[in-house]
Structure 1
Amino acid sequence: MSGRAVKIVAGVVAVASAGAAAVLAARPGAGGGTDDGDRLPPAITTITRGTLRESVEADGELGYGPTRTTAARTAGTVTWLPAGGAQVTRGRPLHRIDDDPAVLMYGPVPAYRDLSPGDEGRDVAQLERNLAALGYDGFTADDEYTGATADAVEQWQEDNGLPETGVLRLGQVVFASGPVRVDSLIAEAGQSVAPGRDLLTWTGTSRVITVRLDVADGPVAKAGATVSVTLPDGRRAAGRVTEVATVIEPGAGDDGPTTEVEAQIALTDPKTAAALGSAAVDVTFTAAERRNVLTVPVAALMAAPDGGFAVEVVDGAGTRQVPVRTGLFADGRVEITGDGLAEGTTVGAPR
């Protein structure tokens, strides 16, 4: 991770209001009557109509997403490991112990027990779906391990050089969410291992951006939300939040644990970053958005005599104050509504 997320970059209401107050102090006559006659403001601007966005910027890391570890589930000698960077798909071995393969299958439930006739559960359904995807049949892909399931498993074991028992032993299958990319090797061929010994680490195969946000900024990272990504060469690319999770990091020393929100972001066009390795990027989330609204620079606001805000409308050689209701503050501008105000109206502003 290249760094912690930075806070909201477009001012929130409290900050923008404070800025407006500072402007008022610098504008002679601001906050006076409703008609200033022939006294014109030192500078002018116009009311515009458009989209106003409040953004949160955060540091992100372009890579392959979270790294996970695969450990031995049986004791023996490591006889084969894939090369670092290799991609492994369903039905292919992820490692071999005593020359018995641990075959990759897809699914969210990790292997945690032997499976045999009479067993039921999500892991059974997951196994049966994989067997069907690999071309085995004669059973119903539900959550029951039947005799027909055992027959399919026995055929699968024969095809993979495993003992043909019809019982799926722990360690014969490794489940992952999809194809995996071998990130690094921890063990090496010829090494004796016990159950639980780490063998290798892996990631997904798609390029993703990982972002950590403070919990207070977490609501901007919603699954499906679109973001803007600034790449190391300055190019901007569109992305979409694909996963969001709460991460608790243990504290060090006297520091307590910290809680953050971790978001995974996929680039809309993966080719954009095809030539990049791991890289630090900037990610911009949209915290709030108002479309087709009237806006002025925050500095154009002035104090209304009865409280609240007003703008100083320029009419020919004179001016008049028009009370306004403010909405979103962002990027130095503020959303306004008021009687008679329209796009193109000229208003006063400080130099």
Structure 2
Amino acid sequence: MNRPTRTVLAGGSALLAVAVVTAAAIGFGGKSPSASSSTTRALPATAPVTRTTLTRSQQVNGVLGYGASVTVAGRGSGTLTWLPSLGTTIKRGRSVYRADDDPVPLFYGRLPLYRQLRIGDVGRDVEEVERNLTALGYRGLTVDRRYTWATAVAVRRWQKDLGLTQTGVFDPASVVIAPGAIRVASLTGRLGAPGSGPILAYTGITKVVSIALDVALQTLVRRGLPATVELPDGKTVKGRIAKVGTVATAGADEQRPATIDVTVTLRDQSKIGRLDRAPVVVSLVSDSVRDVLTVPVSALAVLAEGGYGLQVVTGSTSRYVPVRLGMFGDGRVEVSGDGIAEGTLVGVPE
């Protein structure tokens, strides 16, 4: 499915012209009515004026998968003696790999560990280590930014459980840091190779949609905005923009635009099944107005005196009321005017 990028406007200027002309000429008797005209003739089908949030959307192509991968580079010495299988999920405290048969487990965090830690050290890295030790069940220490005697005791207990030399000094090369649980995406290292340099690459464990977005559309995306993803089987899943790149990638040639990377997270992973690296279509909200009165676009009529109106039906009579138009979207149009309120019945072509 390689769909081109397209805008869904459910009523741009061309569609508006067609809709109102059709409504006037076919649905309302062939002549442009006057705003003062009323009738007791056979009444048309009706639709109520509704109050809603109206949106326009831009559809773009994306790829459903586990997102961009991150490379793990070994920082210690020794020889690789164990590697996980592709696709393996690794959680906090579990081994990412082994060097000289010593486990190198996963710790959760966002701050790269950059120094050895010992009693007296202070910093965010200390807090990150203490938070992980506590989550793994090592008690007796306070999670703060101070590496105390209690922290060193917890580190020694942790080292003992892993079969490491019990120094009470924390070595940054003894763990792999990632924001959360990881999935092994590829293996670079080989058993028997040095335990330094690239070893494997990982992704997150939940599926996301990756979009190479035309930079001309970057105003449509902002972290936290909603998005709707259409899967290859036609089902849709609600999502939210989680990440917007700030560095543009040049197109392969002059015909291809520069793009930025956008990541959309999905609310209901159960709808995705086993799909991976699948093409999807993402609807991004390009414009939105809240709490406005709307009618079907087909309800609009061209008035003889100019402008647009609605055929308001009351009981057994109807009259044409001029209206001001706002945004179009989803086959509806924002309207306002005297006599137009939520629940008002307006004529629509059958």
After superposition, the C-alpha distances for 1:235-259 in whole angstroms (9 at most, x for unaligned) are: 233x232622324244378889945
**Alignment: residue pair count:** 336
Per the normalisation by structure 2, the TM-score is: 0.79
* Residues 231 and 96 (structure 1), Cα distance of their counterparts in 2 relative to 1, 3 Å cut: same
In the alignment, structure 1 residue 233 sits paired with structure 2 residue 229: no
Relative to structure 2, which stretch is displaced further, 16-25 or 62-71?
16-25
Q: Is the 8 A contact 1:20 1:299 kept in 2?
A: no
Partner of residue 83, structure 1: 85
C-alpha deviations, 1:284-319, integer Å up to 9, x for none? 2344254562313168353774x7x32263889x99
Which residue is equivalent to 1:136?
138
Find out whether 1:161 has 2:163 as its counterpart.
yes
1:16 equivalent among 12, 15, 19: 12
Query: Is there any run of 5+ residues in structure 2 with no aligned partner, and where?
Result: none
Cα RMSD over matched residues?
3.7
Mapped pair 1:203 → 2:203:
yes
Whether the 8 Å CA contact 2:35–2:322 is kept in 1: the answer is no
**1:310 match:** 308
**Aligned counterpart, 1:185:** 187
Q: Partners of 1:70 and 1:215 in 2: how far apart?
A: 31
Query: How many Å apart are 1:74 and its aligned residue?
Result: 2.2
Question: Letter of the aligned partner of 2:103 in structure 1?
Answer: P
Kindly indicate whether the alpha-carbon contact (under 8 Å) linking 1:46 and 1:296 is maintained by their aligned counterparts in 2: no
Structure-2 change in CA distance of 1:285 and 1:123 (3 Å): same
Distance 1:165 1:336 in 2: 74
Whether the 8 Å contact between 2:104 and 2:175 is mirrored in structure 1 is yes
Q: Residues 314 and 157 (structure 1 numbering): CA distance in 2 closer, same or farther, change over 3 Å?
A: closer
Can you list the C-alpha shifts for 1:198-250, whole angstroms capped at 9, x where unaligned?
Answer: 1101111123333344456456555555443322112233x232622324244
Letter in 1 for 2:200: L
Report if aligned partners of 1:24, 1:303 keep a CA contact under 8 Å in 2. no
- Cα gap change, 1:324 to 1:304, in 2 (>3 Å): farther
The 1:242–1:340 alpha-carbon spacing in structure 2 relative to 1, beyond 3 Å, is: closer
CA distance in 2, matches of 1:178, 1:96: 20
SS of equivalent residue, structure 2 residue 211 = strand
Taking a change above 3 Å as real, the CA distance of residues 271 and 313 of structure 1, as seen in their structure-2 partners, is closer
Identity of aligned residues (%): 37
Residue aligning to 1:115: 117
Report if the CA contact (8 A) 1:49-1:292 is conserved. Answer: no
CA distance in 1, matches of 2:133, 2:156: 11
Provide structure 1 residue ranges, at least 5 long, that are not aligned to the other structure.
none
Query: Aligned partners of 2:329, 2:106: CA distance in 1, in Å?
Result: 49
Q: Offset of 1:36 from its aligned partner?
A: 7.1
